[in-house]
Structure 1
């Protein structure tokens, strides 16, 4: 009993760098080689899949994309498809009117401006229709291996629960996470946090007082951690 109390006291007094070190070690032990959750075969299909994942689960996207790839799995063929045909396939992903127009238009741009290749540049990716900062970051990190730290609302929430940011926006949280974690860990860590959140620290499964990382970082937390909205 005394030993457990000593451990909790030590954990309670962890500095922020020590907390960062613990989280990194814990996530690496749980998910040493986290797979990319969206099925794809190249940068283009990853780009489209990530676009479809906005306000949609990866599981649903993976059910929809095989039908979309049968219609067209490259920008040259996709650019020839009607928005209506694309929308008919991707409707289960939600926001299908906007997403189908974006897929059609970005495919045309890739053909006309980039010879059908997805640009390996963050700024150029963000210029494409339907491609925001997070989507561009996912493509840069997972398709091209360029260090990036894409932050969605879930990662934003966990980072606050773990005392890594006080940011009120995903943009600020991204800056804070990049500041405390080594650059070489960003691409893998982005996925590790996603998997941990789904398995142990979901919106309903943990309020900052349930999962192992939350209870280790804050063993004496008495009230749910209120998350500042992204």
Structure 2
């Protein structure tokens, strides 16, 4: 990993009709978000698109132009609707064909006589891409430009993310502290806005929940890359909630 003082940003592109239909519940977004936060990479946007080449290309081009990295999940399996690799190749304007390196990886897991046309689709890689190893089932992902293409199966995606993490640029990690308000959001909204305005180098989020007593409550999460500025804002938040906290 290469550290930098400049912000390092990311977007996620989730690909698959099964996600949009609700048939498959996404388990990757939260995992990737938490993983990237731990590396000092700021996730800025998530998009979900169907298995339509034009939509994948458009979303991918929009995200890769805006962020340091784009992570895609889904659509690199052996079936006809696994079209992510073709869409990525089209987005970058490069060819795509069976990669001998990827084919060799598949043969570590699949018997030669079982490597049919469908399975061989998983070895089709855009020209110029670097392979991302898959220690779970061997079918690789790939990395081209600032786009990292991973499987949709959570265990495989997580293994691929571990493979690429050491090569990623990383920024200054975001520090955070949570203050339990013991007050309703409506009671603290005004004063909280004033604190946010007075501390522009921190972000403050309000997250409502039902307390143990069955009454509305909220957690206030303060985030900053600067420990000193974080401490100042947290102190202001603590002082504020003391003044509005219900009996």
Q: TM-score, normalised by structure 1?
A: 0.26
Q: Which has the higher helix share?
A: 1
**Which structure is larger by alpha-carbon Rg, 1 or 2?**
2
Larger relative contact order, structure 1 or 2 (CA cutoff 8 Å, min sep 6)? 1
